[in-house]
Structure 1
Amino acid sequence: MNALFSEVQVGRYTLSNRMVMAPMTRSRADDAGVPNDLVATYYAQRASAGLIISEGVFPVALGKGYVRTPGIETAEQVAAWKKVAEAVHARGGRIFMQLMHCGRVSHPSLLADGAQPQAPSAIKAAGQTYTATGLQDFVTPHALTVSEIAAVVEGYRLAARRAIEAGFDGVELHAASGYLPEQFLSTGSNQRDDHYGGSVENRVRFVLEVIGALISEVGSDRVGIKISPEMNFNDIVDANPQETYTYLVKQLGGLNLAYLHVALFGTTFDYHAALRPLFGGSYLIGSGLNKDSAESLIATGKADAAVFGGAFLANPDLPDRFRAGAELNLPNKDTFYAPGAEGYIDYPTLSQGA
């Protein structure tokens, strides 16, 4: 049997195949962070994935970083996500919710009462974010106090509770892409002089506290984490990323998490070889994979499952296409974040003659 189509245990779940749909921002929520009715259709179309990881969902309102992105804080948001989970489960799929607090990578126009974005330190990131009026420069964020950090951790915990209430199978902590967890991990964005900054042990503390909160709420076998060492997105810089991520994964290794999701972009260091032996549990590899490279990773034991982004976005029936050796649809980048059905739920399947 092709390695991609064998079963695999991920946390408490036996997945029907080893193809995972990557978390991808699609911006189909309203201004209140409520996913629209197209979202359930979109994810249900892709339920043949062994596991779907949802787009990033802000756990608390101050975690929102982009226009039309969804949350999991209000009753209305939970109700909308219930429709999504039910639709995926009706087609035999599994879905985890990615919890994404953008931290300093936000803008006051996206936050209630024009609040300042939150961060470990008051260091402005270079770059811009998408707002209702177009691209806006990042601003200098508010440096979180110790009590405010505790409140953010609690917000993550309650978000995990609501994700499970909405019917999701688990949650993934987004600790990559320059968002709040990675802002704490990285020396360029974390210049605190308390027990959350300085040494690698201190900079990793926030991530471990959030993971601990998620575990306390839903169980370790329903919690995953995504990291992306040296991706350097959103102006993230770390003085010694190999030390940072080696230490982090060593601490995660004994927690019996559902999985570690590692996506690499451009680094020359083989993080997979360094990190997988430290983790021990289900190891998911993403970024730039195709059918052949994914099969090779799994067949050689380098990964337990392969994560596909654009291929799943444009091919709702990606497993069927891989089985058949069929040509793939190409994603339309112009509609990645555009509201509406075009480029979202209208990609054809093989049965539709594409």
Structure 2
Amino acid sequence: MRPRRLRSTSAIRRLVAQTDVEPRHLVLPMFVADGLTEPKPIDSMPGVVQHTMDSLRQAAQAAVAAGVGGLMLFGVPRAEDKDDIGSGADSADGVLNRALAAVRADLGDDTVLMADTCLDEFTDHGHCGVVDDQGRVDNDATLSRYAAMAVAQARAGAHVLGPSGMMDGQIAAIRAALDSAGYPDTALLAYTAKYASAFYGPFRDAVDSSLEGDRRTYQQDPANRAEAMRELELDLAEGADLVMVKPAMGYLDVLTDVAANSTVPVAAYQVSGEYSMISAAAQRGWIDRRGAILESLTSIRRAGASIVLTYWAAEVAEWLR
């Protein structure tokens, strides 16, 4: 037996490849910030910026032209516009809702426009929910804020909402609110297994996070694998249209479990720290940048992701096109 026969030329390897990465599999996360006159580079994420409204629209159109499957928008309000309940999250004048409306007007249904449905960017304490007088995140009070935010995002034009706060019952609460408000076709991408990861650090620079403390009382413990199956069962029962594992590269075992048990498409988020590690090593000449990027995305797809959120989506789409 000589398995090497099927590795002998690039054409044979391409013919028998079991996993592929195509532009349609990729979603580009994008940040839009209030108060900027030009795009602002994010130091800890080389090549990624906080966009102005104009540069966001231009970059979104370019990404869609390159063939990316979708866009996930995050809003970054001014510090003075944050408050304890994240009022800017459901305001029509909030930065994220204005951005959703602008991009939807430009692109219509030519892409899948996704919105981050979470309060952390909009709260002055930086938590993903409403904090009680003892400093704890109040699960059920937060659900009502998510419901209002979700309706505002659907009204602004989002096709898919991504509730990322890991509150118990968030999918059911948002689904009910959307249906009651007349948005039954707006889909929900459940952050089913979102872990309390050290690899979110650069993202907090990207959104000018005001976080006080940590999120370990609501995001999953990195030590736990089976717990993700319980979260998956609940999200599917509550009406999730897609589910996600986050981070991706450090949780490929969890991703494989979720993909094997999910009855809906599965996404994985290659998070900021994963992006920045590869970027930093490549900048120092320690690894081949293009090869490492493509290998990392292939590994996520191989583990079971139908959809990969990655900050390289537009660039990789150009390579693959």
What's the TM-score, normalizing by structure 1?
A: 0.55
Map of 1:253 onto structure 2: 236
Aligned residues: CA RMSD: 4.0
Q: Which of 231, 244, 264 pairs up with 1:281?
A: 264
Going from structure 1 to structure 2, the CA distance change for 1:215 and 1:277 (only over 3 Å counts) comes to: farther
Q: Which of 226, 238, 253 pairs up with 1:270?
A: 253
The structural deviation recorded for 1:28 is 1.6
Code of the aligned partner of 2:33? R
Task: Give the helix-richer structure, 1 or 2.
Answer: 2
CA distance in 1, matches of 2:86, 2:75: 10
Going from structure 1 to structure 2, the CA distance change for 1:277 and 1:63 (only over 3 Å counts) comes to: farther
Code of the aligned partner of 1:29? D
Q: Which of 35, 53, 56 pairs up with 1:39?
A: 56
Going from structure 1 to structure 2, the CA distance change for 1:224 and 1:120 (only over 3 Å counts) comes to: farther
Q: Which of 3, 14, 19 pairs up with 2:26?
A: 19
The structural deviation recorded for 1:281 is 0.8
The structural deviation recorded for 1:86 is 1.8
- Structure 1 gaps of 5+ residues are 6-15, 111-116, 123-140, 176-180, 185-203, 324-354
Alignment check: 8 A CA contact 1:20 1:52 kept: yes
Going from structure 1 to structure 2, the CA distance change for 1:215 and 1:282 (only over 3 Å counts) comes to: farther
Map of 1:304 onto structure 2: 306
Q: Within 5 Å, give how 1:222-261 maps onto structure 2.
A: 222-226=187-191, 227-231=193-197, 235-237=214-216, 241-261=224-244
Secondary structure in 2 matching 1:290:
helix
The structural deviation recorded for 1:52 is 1.0
Going from structure 1 to structure 2, the CA distance change for 1:317 and 1:259 (only over 3 Å counts) comes to: same
Map of 2:293 onto structure 1: 290
Secondary structure in 2 matching 1:52:
strand
Q: Within 5 Å, give how 1:146-225 maps onto structure 2.
A: 149-150=140-141, 152-175=142-165, 181=166, 184=167, 204-205=168-169, 207-213=170-176, 216=179, 217=181, 218-219=183-184, 222-225=187-190
CA distance in 2, matches of 1:241, 1:291: 28
Going from structure 1 to structure 2, the CA distance change for 1:272 and 1:27 (only over 3 Å counts) comes to: same
Code of the aligned partner of 1:96? M
Going from structure 1 to structure 2, the CA distance change for 1:278 and 1:320 (only over 3 Å counts) comes to: same
CA distance in 1, matches of 2:133, 2:234: 24
1:204-253 Cα offsets, whole Å, 9 max, x none, are 34x34444445535337611122422415563336674354321111112
Map of 1:118 onto structure 2: 130
Q: Which of 25, 47, 54 pairs up with 2:73?
A: 54
Q: Which of 100, 103, 111 pairs up with 2:118?
A: 100
The structural deviation recorded for 1:97 is 1.0
1:69-127 Cα offsets, whole Å, 9 max, x none, are x744234654553112222338x322111112129x9536x9xxxxxx833683xxxxx
Map of 1:83 onto structure 2: 102
Secondary structure in 2 matching 1:46:
helix
Code of the aligned partner of 1:264? P
CA distance in 2, matches of 1:320, 1:292: 16
Alignment check: 8 A CA contact 2:189 2:242 kept: yes
Query: Are residue 322 (structure 1) and residue 301 (structure 2) matched?
Result: no
Going from structure 1 to structure 2, the CA distance change for 1:261 and 1:3 (only over 3 Å counts) comes to: same
Going from structure 1 to structure 2, the CA distance change for 1:260 and 1:269 (only over 3 Å counts) comes to: closer
Going from structure 1 to structure 2, the CA distance change for 1:224 and 1:39 (only over 3 Å counts) comes to: same
Code of the aligned partner of 2:106? A
What's the TM-score, normalizing by structure 2?
A: 0.59
- Structure 2 gaps of 5+ residues are 1-14, 37-51, 201-212, 275-291
Going from structure 1 to structure 2, the CA distance change for 1:250 and 1:76 (only over 3 Å counts) comes to: closer
CA distance in 1, matches of 2:132, 2:258: 26
Alignment check: 8 A CA contact 2:190 2:235 kept: no
CA distance in 2, matches of 1:295, 1:286: 13
Code of the aligned partner of 1:51? G
1:174-194 Cα offsets, whole Å, 9 max, x none, are 13xxxxx3xx5xxxxxxxxxx
Going from structure 1 to structure 2, the CA distance change for 1:210 and 1:291 (only over 3 Å counts) comes to: farther
CA distance in 1, matches of 2:235, 2:94: 33
Secondary structure in 2 matching 1:118:
coil
Map of 1:73 onto structure 2: 91
